[in-house]
Amino acid sequence: MTPIIAPSILASDFANLQREVEMINASQADWVHIDIMDGVFVPNLSMGLPVVEAIKRHAKKPLDIHLMIVQPEKFVEAFQKAGAASISVHVEACPHLHRNVQQIKSLGCKAGVAINPHTPVSGLSDLIQDIDLVCLMSVNPGFGGQKFIERTYDKIRELKAMIESRSAKTLIEIDGGVNQQNAKLLCDAGADVLVAGNFVFSSSNPKEVIQRLKEMR
């Protein structure tokens, strides 16, 4: 299966954001991944609604919004209006996760659930058929450029078995430390979507890097 490639705009050059988005448009990337951080759920701040709206004005690929924030239910509608095609909320931030998922779906977006490295995937078993996307964090959320956590492969296989046993259509997205060395291993384990940040944007030829990820064997 050919993976869905979602470059993470967090690693891009914010001083030239339109140029970076246009590069993604011209590449073989499928989605634009956008991390939203509030400085509470994770120890960092990123962009907010005005930046997402600006990206949407130039993006020709769907916006994949990853909310690393507390009380995401207060903001999902605003991000949908800003242009989100999919919205992922963290299981650790959602004591009423079913309600959060249904809220996102009611807005016409694909509903994603993100889980931190320490969180077991087993907690999604009762909800997996309602989830469009599970975003497995393969680094600790909050900062780019971290080392990939090897335990992720086992979590992918466990999650894939759960999805198949329930005949669900849920996609598995990997976020953090994705590169040319581990991309094929991730897909072989069952990943469907690869989020790549520094690996893409630190390259002298980001489009070529995206192409290599897309066409890996």
| Cβ(115)–Cβ(95) below 8 Å | no
Mean pLDDT of 208-217: 89
Question: Which CATH number belongs to the domain containing residue 58 in this structure?
Answer: 3.20.20.70
Q: What are the φ and ψ backbone dihedral angles of 215, each rounded to 5 degrees?
A: -105, 15
Report the domain count for the chain.
1
Q: In b/e form, how buried is each residue of 103-115, taking b as 16+ CB within 10 angstroms?
A: bbeeeebbbbbbb
Write the CB contacts of 48 (distance below 8 Å, at least 6 apart in sequence): 36
Q: Any idea which residues carry the catalytic annotation? A: 35, 175
The structure's pTM equals 0.95
Encode pLDDT of 43-61 as tens digits: 888 889 999 999 999 999 9
Q: Which domain holds residue 27?
A: 4-214
pLDDT band at 12 (very low <50, low <70, confident <90, very high): very high
What's residue 27's pLDDT?
97
| Cβ(124)–Cβ(155) below 8 Å | no
